[in-house]
Amino acid sequence: MPEVHDRPLGVIVCAADPAALDRLVPPGHGARVLRVAPDEVLAVVAPDFADDVRRELADRVAALDHDALVLDVSDGWAAIALVGDDAERALSYLSALEAPAADGFAQGDVARVAAKILREPDGLVLLVPAYWRDHVRTRAIEDAGAVEARA
Amino acid sequence: MPSLRLDGRRVEIHDGDTVAAAAFRAGVRTFTRSLKAHRRRGLYCGTGDCANCLVTVDGLPGERACVTPARDGMRVERETGWPSAERDALAINDRLHRFMPVGFYYKVFARPRWLWPVAERVIRRATGTGTLPPDAPTRRTPTRFVRVRTLVIGGGVAGLAAAATAAGEGSVVLADEAAPGARATDPAARDAIARLTAEARAAGAEILEQHAAIGIYEGPAAALLGPDELVEVEAEHVIVATGALEAHGVFPGNDLPGVWLGRGAARMTAIHGVTIGERVVVVANTEEGAHLSEALRATGATVTLVTGRVLEARGTRQVSSVTVLTPEGRRAFACDALVLSLGWAPRDTLLRMTAEPEVVGAGDVVRPGSTLAEAEASGRAAARGQADQPTEATSWPIAEHDGYVCVCEDVSMHDLERAWDEGWTSSEILKRYTTATMGPCQGALCSRHLAEHARAKGAAPAARGRTTARPPVRAPRLGDLIGGVHEQVERRTALHDRHVAAGARMDHSGVWLRPGTYGDVGEEIRVVRERVSVMDVSTLGKFLVAGVDARTLLDQVFPLDVGAIAPGRARYLLALDEAGYVMDDGLLAALGDGSYFLTSTSGGADRMEAWLRNWIDRLDLHVHLVNQTAQLGAINVAGPNARDLLATLTDDDLSRAAIPYPGHADIVVAGVPCRAIAVGFVGELSYELHHPRGRSEGLWDALLAAGEPWDIRPHGLDALDVLRLEKGHVYLAQDTMPDDHPAKLGLRWAVASQKETFVGKRALERMDALPLERRLVGLRFDGAPQRGHPLAVDGAIVGRITSCAVSEAAGGPVGLGWVRAVDGAFPDQLTAGAVTATVSPTPFYDPEGMRLRA
Amino acid sequence: MSVLVTCPTCGRRPFTEFSFGGELRDIASPDTASDFERVYLHDNAAGPQRERWFHLLGCRRWVTLTRDTGTNRVEA
């Protein structure tokens, strides 16, 4: 049974022209870039680097689209990690989505809410708007058999 | 020796027994009593298709004894017949049957009118099968999602062959309803199944045992019900290999215990080693039926094999003789078991649920009576995209003038004839009038007979089809169906724990969980009007609208004059749809760098985002829209001392010059960066502080601590309802209806009609030219009003109270309500029951708005 | 269970992830009379229909596609 953890993450949104986003060089610091829509990218990174990533993104995208918007939206997202080998099986109780490949992401209905699914070395991460955090945790425990992480 | 208890009596269980096998071996012949006539019913199909053997197992009713594996310690009860299935007092109904033709209760008990409810109660108690145990544990079955290339339904030879072949092309899941080892009735079949199972597994097919497909849906998709889970499968291809059962024989006496369908008799004999009788007559018009007589002889029974048409079976508690019209003429036989193999009825319900070309059949379900080799070939062909098409039986066993057609519902041929004569002349209507096919077996036995009857009567093609097949194939438990569905999806603000700790009653407000009250609504109202209070309004929809076309977008979509909002200012915003109706409301604030901050109602955030993104797309505008609903918390600090309180937590300028009404400014409160918006919803001096969600708890705690000198306390939704009502503010969906344009709500002032274009403008122009037939008005009452109560003039209802409260601040009971025009004019005096309502201008409290502009 | 809608960003998804936006229609009318028709009188075709769908649980963008109202098949 997988464990369910809160995994604090930095999330930066970059809204710009699709053509600019196509050519955007990903920022560093281990950030993962999710192209959630043609005109929107979410960069997900460890919280300590959120500010650096924001600045990097803002500099890079300004050269491609002077009207682009870059904003730290970390507060708006909650990341719930399902840790363990059976994280994928747990996901099958929450969603009809397939777990993504290692560096990709999936987005769609997880436990009836809008979520992005990321694969991590130790399992899966469900990224949802922050107000869904408790709902997703509860569903992971009650429906998918996950257990609270021991302190 | 393992055993179960049947009606309290101990019954031995042999290895591999089903409940039916163990019971039959122990001498049980009557398993149920029929629905209306309370006739004895025994094992018939033996394959889980009919409803003759439904029993209660360990407290749960409706279990099919013939497919339920027997377990040591099981408690089995027959669930029909009173006081028992053996001695049923209502067996008298059978003798009175000719006084109870189909539909009689609609005619006989209709008058006098008081008789029907009485009759209905009696009838209900006398019919039905099984009782739900009031103390059964609630069960919520987990739901699992599976995506697969090929789903195979049915674990016989055809299904396994299909799975083995399809596994070469991609992922395969095979759902097999049967319990392990419950299929093969001869060594050749056993070997084939073992061989194909190994092949399928080796090829990577996943086999889900004891998982029954209860429906096929668009996609194609299927729902599989297993012992402990519901599996929702999305597949690119579905192969239905559910096999066939023998055609149901219809003749007088066809429902007597001791009458068997061939495959059921074969299972009982070959798998369970049970002798079904000593003098057995087999009426076989199929090859398989002919072979069956050999297996029966091997049990030591005297077996007579004939072909032809069964004319009649006779017996009292069970069958004792049968008359058959053979090629040599009428023949009568004494027997204690009658086995029928008159033709084939493919189990095609799942196939008939869908017209999608990706759903195909294989094996007996499309080629009934296949040999093992033919079934295997059919399965493999289906997996290769060359599925056999269904063939209908070329000859269907002719039903005699009488006999039970729908065994579940006690509908005889005679009933069908009579109903037809009464004018119910199509198979669908006949079904609904007689209830044929509506019993637990859902037409597995009789749907073809019903269609055939209509055809024989000369019905037009449209009126003689088989009745529509719909999910579920068989009745699942509610606990199985709701697996994966939950009462609520719940959104929580960052202050949830604070509210709970303060003793708030948390309410579901749409998808949000919000505090209704912290214990004393009256006190909460007072603290807002007289001192200072805080409210968690983090649920509001919040949006950043930026980009070169931000102002253009807002101007084209909303009816307000966006250009007139100077930086630092805000305006009340109405969102209209293309029909000019009010969809939502909120606030629009100009941020000064060309971007805007927009708020919507808590329930309208998703719709607002969809709405704006639609117009960005259709108008092809360069706009960056960020939904900040989750990202920002919001706390409303409201009351005459609001400014004084905030002044203790900030050095920023809070005067009207710095934060105009309506307007906003960025300030820092207790170290938390906030956008402070001056709002007027509750009618007191208010600062709605929008801040990063992560800082909510700190800000809330600081405000409550700093507010102690004013005896601060928070207020919830109940207090808010009264506060806004006192100001005459509308609650969308409570005071409004989906087709309200602004004039009906008294909100015409929020529309800048002089604007050249905005969404809904033309619709408003059109409606402005029409007389207003309904208006939302303020009301004062001379007594306690009730929300939802109709409003009347001279006894005629002309409206309804939509909101009301007894208000200290407003000096009495006030409310809002709908009033229709009467003879072109709106009445100003109405009655709501014993209470008089007078139309009054709003706001009821502080009409000049001095308090909130302080 | 699944009418499948194709989202250009997210792929083929069950319709339950979407909000239905109705028949595709013009965004404006030249005059008040034709506006009534545009807003209220829909073609309601039996067969292929151009429609608007919003991917509420996914990318949260709109897609215009063709769905056959008789078979519920959505063109890829």
Q: What is the pLDDT of residues A44-66, one digit of tens each?
A: 999 999 999 999 999 999 999 99
**CB within 8 Å: B218 and C60:** no
- Lowest mean pLDDT across B347-351, B470-474, B529-533: B470-474
CA distance A37 to chain C (A): 6
Predicted structure pTM score: 0.89
pLDDT above 70: residue B128: no
Q: Which residue of chain B is at minimal alpha-carbon distance from C55?
A: B610
CA distance A122 to chain B (A): 22
pLDDT value at residue B486: 62
pLDDT mean over B503-530 = 97
Task: Give Rg (Cα) of chain C.
Answer: 14
Whether A37 has its CB under 8 Å from any CB of chain C: the answer is yes
**CB within 8 Å: A93 and B631:** no
pLDDT value at residue B91: 79
Contacting residues for B822 by C-beta, under 8 A, at least 6 apart: B793, B796, B798
pLDDT mean over B241-266 = 94
- Taking every pair of C-alpha atoms in chain B, what is the biggest distance, in angstroms? 112
Cα torsion through B313, B319, B321, B323, rounded to 10: 20
Whether A66 has its CB under 8 Å from any CB of chain B: the answer is no
Neighboring chain C residues of B578 at a CB cutoff of 8 Å: 38-39
pLDDT value at residue B219: 85
Query: What is the CA angle B136-B141-B146, rounded to 5?
Result: 165
pLDDT above 90: residue B183: no
Whether A64 has its CB under 8 Å from any CB of chain B: the answer is no
Q: For residue B280, give the amino acid letter.
A: V
pLDDT above 90: residue B833: yes
> How far is the C-alpha of B9 from the C-alpha of A138, rounded, in Å?
46
Q: Which residue of chain B is at minimal alpha-carbon distance from C18?
A: B610
pLDDT value at residue B56: 93
pLDDT mean over B33-40 = 88
Neighboring chain C residues of A115 at a CB cutoff of 8 Å: 57
> How far is the C-alpha of B148 from the C-alpha of B705, rounded, in Å?
58
**CB within 8 Å: A96 and B694:** no
CA distance A91 to chain C (A): 16
pLDDT above 70: residue B181: no
pLDDT value at residue B584: 97
**CB within 8 Å: B546 and A69:** yes
pLDDT mean over B789-817 = 96
Q: For residue B686, give the amino acid letter.
A: S
- Lowest mean pLDDT across B133-147, B442-456, B501-515: B133-147
Q: pLDDT for B102-117, tens place per residue?
A: 777 677 777 778 888 8
Neighboring chain A residues of C3 at a CB cutoff of 8 Å: none
Q: Does B402 or B493 have the greater pLDDT score?
A: B493
Residues 101-140 of A with CB under 8 A from B: 111-113, 129-135, 139
Which spans in B401-548 are helix H? 413-422, 427-434, 447-456, 478-481, 496-501, 521-530
pLDDT above 70: residue B180: no
Decide: residue A98, CB within 10 A, 0-12 exposed, 13-18 middle, 19+ buried: middle
pLDDT value at residue A151: 61
pLDDT value at residue B80: 85
pLDDT above 80: residue B396: no
pLDDT value at residue C4: 87
pLDDT value at residue B406: 94
Find chains touching chain A: ≥3 CB pairs under 8 Å.
B, C
Q: What is each CA distance from B844 to B397, B732, B735, in whole angstroms?
A: 80, 19, 16
Q: Which residue of chain C is at minimal alpha-carbon distance from B220?
A: C2
**CB within 8 Å: A135 and B628:** no
pLDDT above 60: residue B487: no
Neighboring chain A residues of C54 at a CB cutoff of 8 Å: none
CA distance B818 to chain C (A): 25
Q: Which residue of chain A is at minimal alpha-carbon distance from C57?
A: A114
pLDDT mean over A74-78 = 97
**CB within 8 Å: A108 and C17:** yes
Q: Which residue of chain B is at minimal alpha-carbon distance from A17?
A: B622
Whether A19 has its CB under 8 Å from any CB of chain B: the answer is no
Whether B104 has its CB under 8 Å from any CB of chain A: the answer is no
pLDDT value at residue B24: 96
**CB within 8 Å: C57 and A37:** no
Neighboring chain B residues of A135 at a CB cutoff of 8 Å: 489-492
- Partner-chain residue, chosen from A35, A38, A109, that has the shortest CB–CB distance to C17: A109
Q: pLDDT for B289-320, tens place per residue?
A: 888 888 899 889 999 999 999 999 999 989 99
> How far is the C-alpha of B248 from the C-alpha of B341, rounded, in Å?
9
Q: pLDDT for B542-565, tens place per residue?
A: 999 999 999 999 999 999 999 999
Neighboring chain B residues of A71 at a CB cutoff of 8 Å: 544, 626
Q: Which residue of chain B is at minimal alpha-carbon distance from C54?
A: B610
Residues of chain B by 3-state class (helix, strand, coil), percent to 5 = 25, 30, 45
Best residue in B138, B140, B145, B551 for a mutation probing chain A (most A CBs within 10 Å):
B145
Average of per-residue pLDDT values in chain B: 92
Determine whether domain C4-68 maps to CATH 3.30.2270.10.
yes
> How far is the C-alpha of B271 from the C-alpha of B339, rounded, in Å?
17
**CB within 8 Å: B147 and A134:** no
pLDDT mean over C45-50 = 94
Q: pLDDT for B770-800, tens place per residue?
A: 999 999 999 999 999 999 999 999 999 999 9
Whether C12 has its CB under 8 Å from any CB of chain B: the answer is no
Domains of chain A: 3-7+76-148 (3.30.1360.120), 10-75 (3.30.70)
**CB within 8 Å: C32 and B619:** no
Q: Which residue of chain B is at minimal alpha-carbon distance from A78?
A: B630
pLDDT value at residue B250: 95
Domains of chain B: 3-109 (3.10.20.440), 143-245+346-383 (3.50.50.60), 250-341 (3.50.50.60), 404-478 (no CATH), 496-538+631-723 (3.30.1360.120), 541-627 (3.30.70.1400), 770-854 (2.40.30.110)
Q: Which residue of chain B is at minimal alpha-carbon distance from A141?
A: B142
> How far is the C-alpha of B455 from the C-alpha of B429, rounded, in Å?
14
- Lowest mean pLDDT across A141-150, B317-326, B358-367: A141-150
pLDDT band for position B394 (cuts 50, 70, 90): low
Percent of chain B with pLDDT over 90: 79
Q: pLDDT for B742-754, tens place per residue?
A: 999 999 999 999 9
pLDDT value at residue A36: 97
Say what the ipTM of the complex is. 0.97
pLDDT value at residue B124: 73
Whether B628 has its CB under 8 Å from any CB of chain A: the answer is yes
- Residue A118 and residue A32 in contact, taking contact as beta carbons nearer than 8 Å: yes
Residues of chain C by 3-state class (helix, strand, coil), percent to 5 = 15, 35, 45
pLDDT value at residue B120: 78
pLDDT value at residue B133: 78
Task: Give Rg (Cα) of chain B.
Answer: 37
- Residue B838 and residue B779 in contact, taking contact as beta carbons nearer than 8 Å: yes
Q: Which residue of chain A is at minimal alpha-carbon distance from C2?
A: A96
pLDDT band for position B484 (cuts 50, 70, 90): low
CA distance C49 to chain A (A): 25
pLDDT band for position B400 (cuts 50, 70, 90): confident
